[in-house]
């Protein structure tokens, strides 16, 4: 199953590191080291499946050549203890194909590092795991100085902040989980430590193939010994309390198979005897619940605790749905509609139906809508009506970027669920019966977190509004809470796309949102809107030529290249 691994290290001359040699190894290339006057040859390395140097805007083009880049870095650093570069290494979910994994990792590297001004030497390695599945991981060597057309400038100390590292770790989890959700894979990774997640097991260090050879000596062998020690001690913890294994698995999967369990136990035990003992203990645990067979005929399991979470979730939802105390009177409804119309925002029939539904007296309401259907704009009008009635409207989302998008599109002051829960733990910003909680991208929220929020709202007498698309993005944590709640308590749907003007474009957007990607691409291709090229260079030439012709023909129109 997908695991989370994200590590950072600094390459320093004081530790005997060499940027050119490191780059040659990670790319599986032969590079000449100008400072040392010799070649570093790793062309026999056969696990490199992708390699590219990504330049930020304004960097000189010649630095896209790996040899030129790292020789320039070595030349620019004069000190004997100079820090040469930073390396980020992270695991790519094994459930993704090589092409999917490379595309996802490349997008992450461009967004988090290159866009901030770093040059990224990006390499993806793949190796065959013991279970016959190829595992991918990325090595990203990053420059530490500013760069412009004249070359390297001063070092950027800001890039060393611990807060930035925490952001990178969290961001990679968001990228990977979104990709898994879009593929319909019921697995998630978590950037948090085991302790922060309430998991009793000790995290294992990563060992490479060299360390896996038991006759190896030195640091690699020490890491292998430490890895095995942790696995053995974790196995002992599970033997003492088998529910630890079940709780840990259900942090990321609401249900699991016997194979999922075996893979988990294999990772957290040492040797066949301990593996067999732990498997027997876990399968005999009263905390393990069999819930039937899936579409593939495999038995699926969950935990008593997970069933208890879903029971509490349904109880909280039923309390909210049955409470009538949050209606908005007609004059505030009409005032909000008039105000929005004066700004040029006129609700469609579907948007208006959703608007009226949300302003009803029930303490829970849900809206389902595709991306581009105008959900945020409609929420902005609803916010005015709620505030006119005297309610305090507060926006929540799982990720920071989703909270920013909700606030930007609707004007609802928004934050992450985790940050609000932290405030609650400190006794601050507690809910009251005057609050309306608007939760965006609700389909990404797992059962545990959804239960905590709905239970808090039910206790305080607040109203909860769930907004999202249960088919588009699935929960990051275990459980598809939003889908279950909308099926049980109903929702208003907004299906008409407003972001696109032409009917066929709206249809293509719906096709993309419902997984019919080929159909959508064919719609664009059939209207001459998909253009192929034989090479990357030819594609770039065509792109720039097309942009230039459009710019000259209509200089007052906007256009964008991604």
- For residue 127, the model assigns a pLDDT of 85
Q: What's the Cα-to-Cα distance from 383 to each of 391, 405, 436, rounded to whole Å?
A: 9, 15, 9
Strand partners, 139: 89, 123
Distance CA 223, CA 217 (A): 10
- For residue 213, the model assigns a pLDDT of 41
- For residue 561, the model assigns a pLDDT of 84
Distance CA 169, CA 157 (A): 19
Distance CA 94, CA 267 (A): 15
Contact 55, 119 (CB under 8 A): yes
- For residue 211, the model assigns a pLDDT of 42
What pLDDT digit, counting tens, does each position of 488-511 carry? 888 888 766 556 667 788 788 777
Where do we find the tokens 């979730």?
313
DSSP annotation of 203 reads P
Q: Which of 148, 161, 144, 193 is nearest to 19 (CA)?
A: 144
- For residue 93, the model assigns a pLDDT of 87
Contact 347, 355 (CB under 8 A): yes
Coil, strand or helix: which one is 453?
helix
DSSP annotation of 94 reads T
Residue 130's CB: how many other CB atoms inside 10 A? 8
Instruction: Classify burial at 293, counting beta carbons within 10 Å of its beta carbon; exposed 0-12, middle 13-18, buried 19 or more.
Output: exposed
Contact 29, 43 (CB under 8 A): yes
Radius of gyration of the chain (CA): 27
Backbone φ and ψ of 213, nearest 5°: -85, 115
Coil, strand or helix: which one is 557?
coil
Exposure class string for 202-222: b at 16+ Cβ within 10 A, else e: eebeebeeebeeeeeeeebbe
Distance CA 515, CA 534 (A): 28
Distance CA 269, CA 279 (A): 10
Residues with Cβ < 8 Å from 420, sequence gap 6 or more?
394, 396, 429
Distance CA 136, CA 129 (A): 10
- For residue 187, the model assigns a pLDDT of 62
CA angle (538 as vertex; 536, 540 as ends), nearest 5: 70
CA angle (354 as vertex; 353, 357 as ends), nearest 5: 90
- For residue 163, the model assigns a pLDDT of 81
| Residue 496 backbone class (left: φ over 0; alpha: ψ -120 to 50; beta: rest) | beta
- For residue 481, the model assigns a pLDDT of 81
Distance CA 188, CA 350 (A): 34
Where do we find the tokens 């590219």?
52
What pLDDT digit, counting tens, does each position of 279-322 carry? 999 999 988 988 888 778 888 898 888 889 889 999 999 999 99
- For residue 521, the model assigns a pLDDT of 92
Distance CA 186, CA 256 (A): 9
Q: What's the Cα-to-Cα distance from 415 to each of 340, 405, 439, rounded to whole Å?
A: 24, 10, 10
Distance CA 490, CA 130 (A): 46
Q: Which helix (H) or strand (E) holds 520?
A: helix 517-525
Distance CA 464, CA 366 (A): 8
What pLDDT digit, counting tens, does each position of 242-275 carry? 888 888 888 777 788 888 889 889 988 888 998 9
Tokens matching residue 249 = 């698995």
Contact 234, 201 (CB under 8 A): yes
pLDDT > 90: percent of the chain: 38
Instruction: Classify burial at 358, counting beta carbons within 10 Å of its beta carbon; exposed 0-12, middle 13-18, buried 19 or more.
Output: buried
Q: Which residues of the chain have pLDDT under 70?
A: 1-3, 130-132, 183-223, 370-373, 470-479, 495-501, 513-515
Q: Which of 202, 197, 223, 283 is nearest to 477 (CA)?
A: 197
Q: Which helix (H) or strand (E) holds 267?
A: helix 258-267
- For residue 215, the model assigns a pLDDT of 45
- For residue 110, the model assigns a pLDDT of 92
Residue 366's CB: how many other CB atoms inside 10 A? 25
- For residue 475, the model assigns a pLDDT of 45
Distance from the first to the final alpha carbon of the chain:
33
Distance CA 333, CA 336 (A): 5
Based on DSSP, count helices (H) and strands (E) in the chain, helices before strands.
19, 18
Contact 261, 300 (CB under 8 A): no
Contact 51, 27 (CB under 8 A): yes
pTM: 0.54
């Amino acid at each position: 199953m997908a695991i989370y691994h994200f590590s950072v290290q600094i390459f320093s001359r004081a530790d005997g590191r060499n940027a050119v040699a490191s780059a040659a190894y990670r790319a599986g290339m032969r590079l000449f080291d100008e400072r040392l006057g010799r070649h570093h040859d790793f062309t026999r390395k056969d696990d490199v499946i992708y390699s590219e140097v990504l330049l930020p805007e304004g960097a000189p083009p010649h630095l896209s050549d790996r040899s030129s880049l790292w020789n320039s870095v070595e030349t620019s650093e004069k000190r004997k203890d100079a820090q040469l570069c930073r390396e980020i290494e992270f695991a790519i979910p094994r459930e993704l194909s090589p092409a999917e994994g490379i595309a996802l990792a490349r997008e992450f590297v461009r967004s988090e590092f290159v866009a901030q001004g770093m040059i990224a030497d990006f390499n993806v390695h793949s190796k065959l795991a013991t279970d016959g599945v190829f595992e991918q991981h990325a090595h990203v060597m990053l420059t530490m100085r500013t760069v412009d057309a004249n070359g390297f400038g001063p070092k950027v100390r800001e890039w060393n902040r611990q807060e930035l590292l925490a952001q990178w770790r969290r961001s990679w989890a968001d990228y990977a989980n979104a990709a898994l959700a879009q593929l319909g894979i019921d697995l998630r990774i978590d950037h948090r430590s085991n302790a922060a997640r309430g998991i009793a097991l000790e995290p294992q260090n990563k060992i490479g193939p060299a360390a896996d050879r038991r006759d190896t000596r030195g640091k690699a062998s020490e890491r292998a010994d430490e890895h095995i020690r942790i696995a053995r001690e974790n196995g002992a913890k599970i033997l003492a309390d088998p529910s630890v294994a079940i709780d840990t698995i259900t942090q990321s999967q609401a249900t699991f198979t016997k194979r999922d369990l075996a893979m988990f136990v294999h990772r957290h035990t040492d040797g066949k005897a301990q593996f067999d003992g732990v498997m027997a203990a876990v399968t005999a645990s009263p905390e393990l619940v069999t819930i039937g067979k899936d579409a593939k005929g495999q038995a699926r399991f969950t935990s008593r605790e997970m069933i208890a979470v879903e029971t509490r979730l349904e109880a909280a939802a039923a309390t909210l749905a049955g409470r009538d105390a949050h209606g908005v009177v007609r004059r505030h409804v009409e005032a909000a509609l008039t105000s929005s119309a004066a700004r040029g925002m006129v609700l469609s029939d579907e948007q208006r139906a959703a608007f009226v539904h949300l302003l009803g007296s029930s303490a829970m309401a849900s809206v389902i809508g595709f991306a581009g259907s105008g959900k945020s704009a409609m929420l902005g009008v609803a916010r005015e009506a709620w505030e006119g009635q005297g309610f305090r409207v507060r926006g929540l989302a799982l990720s920071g970027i989703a909270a920013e998008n909700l606030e930007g599109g609707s004007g609802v002051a928004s934050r992450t669920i985790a940050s609000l829960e932290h405030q609650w733990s400190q006794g601050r910003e507690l809910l009251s019966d005057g609050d309306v909680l608007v939760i965006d991208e609700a389909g990404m929220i797992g059962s545990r977190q959804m239960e905590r929020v709905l239970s808090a709202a039910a206790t305080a007498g607040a109203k909860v509004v769930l907004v999202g698309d249960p088919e588009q993005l699935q929960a990051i944590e275990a459980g598809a809470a939003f889908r279950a709640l909308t099926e049980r308590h109903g929702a208003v749907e907004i299906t008409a796309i407003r972001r696109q003007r032409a009917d066929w474009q709206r249809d293509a957007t719906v096709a993309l949102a419902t997984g019919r990607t080929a159909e959508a691409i064919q719609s664009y291709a059939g209207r001459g809107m998909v253009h192929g090229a034989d090479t990357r260079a030819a594609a770039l030439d065509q792109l720039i030529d097309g942009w230039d012709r459009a710019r000259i023909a209509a200089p007052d129109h906007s256009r964008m290249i991604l």
